[in-house]
Amino acid sequence: MASITSATPQPERPSTTSATPQRERGLASSPPNPQRRAQVNLPPSQSHHHFLPSRNPGLAPMAMDALRVWRASSQLMSFASRATIARAGFKFNLHTRYCSSAFTVSASATATSDRRRRSSSSPNTSDRESVRAIRLKKVEELRQKGYEPYAYTWDRSHTARQIQEGYGYLENGEVFTGVAVSLAGRVVARRAFGKLVFLTLRDDSGTIQLYCEKECLSEDQFAKLKSFVDIGDILGASGSIKKTEKGELSVYVKNFEILTKSLLPLPDKFHGLTDIDKRYRQRYVDMIANPEVADVFRIRAKIVSEIRKAVESFGFIEVETPVLQGAAGGAEARPFVTYHNSLGRDLYLRIATELHLKRMLVGGLEKVYEIGRIFRNEGISTRHNPEFTSIEMYEAYSDYESMMNLAEEIVTRCAMSIHGKLQVDYQGTEISLMRPWRRETMHSLVKDATGVDFHEFGNNVEAAKEAARGIFKARSEGKDNSSSLVEACSSVGHVLNEVFEAVVEPTLIQPTFVLDYPIEVSPLAKPHRRYTGLTERFELFICGREIGNAFSELTDPIDQRSRFEDQIKQHNAKRAALASKSKSSEESEKANNSDDDDDDDDYSYEVTLDEDFITSLEYGMPPASGMGLGIDRLVMLLTNSASIRDVIAFPVLKVQQ
pLDDT tens per residue, range 148-173:
999 999 999 999 999 999 999 999 99
pLDDT tens across 231-252, in order?
A: 999 999 999 999 999 999 999 9
Q: Which of 552, 619, 617 is nearest to 355 (CA)?
A: 617
Tens of pLDDT, residue by residue over 47-91, are 444 434 444 444 444 444 544 444 444 443 333 333 333 333 433
* Spatial distance between the Cα atoms of 135 and 628, rounded to a whole number of angstroms: 50
User: How sure is the predictor about 570, in pLDDT bands with cuts at 50, 70 and 90?
Assistant: confident
Using alpha carbons only, give the angle 536, 538, 542 rounded to the nearest 5 degrees.
170
Which residues, 6+ apart, have CB-to-CB distance to 246 below 8 Å? 10, 12, 172
* Of 1 and 324, the one with more pLDDT: 324
Task: Give me the helices (H) in 429-544, please.
Answer: 442-450, 461-475, 484-487, 492-499
CA pair distance 616, 362, nearest whole angstrom: 7
> Rounded CA gap, 77 and 193, in Å?
13
CA atoms of 375 and 334, how far apart (whole Å):
9
The count of other CB atoms within 10 Å of the CB of residue 142 is: 18
The amino acid present at 107, given as its one-letter code, is: A
The answer to whether 282 and 649 have CB atoms below 8 angstroms apart is no
Q: How confident is the model at residue 607 (pLDDT cuts 50, 70, 90)?
A: confident
- Secondary structure letter of residue 502 according to DSSP: I
Domain boundaries, the chain: 1-9+122-274
Fold (CATH) for 1-9+122-274: OB fold (Dihydrolipoamide Acetyltransferase, E2P) (2.40.50)
Burial of residue 584 (number of CB atoms within 10 Å: 0-12, 13-18, 19+): exposed
pLDDT in tens, 464-517: 999 999 998 888 744 454 566 788 888 999 999 999 999 999 999 999 999 999
End-to-end CA distance of the chain, in Å?
Answer: 24
User: Between vectors from CA 162 to CA 161 and to CA 167, what angle results, nearest 5°?
Assistant: 105
- pLDDT of 589 > 60? The answer is no
For residue range 365-390, list pLDDT tens digits in order.
999 999 999 999 988 888 999 999 99
Task: Quote the pLDDT of residue 83.
Answer: 37
Q: What are phi and psi of 468, to 5 degrees?
A: -65, -40
The mean predicted confidence, pLDDT, of the chain is 82
* pLDDT-wise least confident of 36-45, 394-403, 424-433: 36-45
pLDDT at 569: 86
What is the pLDDT, as a whole number, of residue 654? Answer: 85
290, 226, 231: which is closest to 265 by C-alpha?
A: 231
Going along 316-400, which residue ranges are E strands?
317-318, 324-325, 337-340, 345-349, 367-375, 387-396
Q: What is the pLDDT of residue 583?
A: 62
| DSSP classification of residue 129 | H
Which of the four pLDDT bands, split at 50, 70 and 90, describes residue 586? low
Q: Residue 374: phi, psi to the nearest 5?
A: -120, 145
Residue-wise DSSP of 378-422: ---SSS--SEEEEEEEEEET--HHHHHHHHHHHHHHHHHHHHSSS
The strand pair at 423-426 and 387-396 is best described as: unpaired
Is it the case that residue 188 has pLDDT exceeding 60?
Answer: yes
What pLDDT, on the 0 to 100 scale, is given for residue 54? 43
Residue that wins the pLDDT comparison between 108 and 463: 463
The CB density around residue 590, as the number of other CB atoms within 10 Å, is: 9
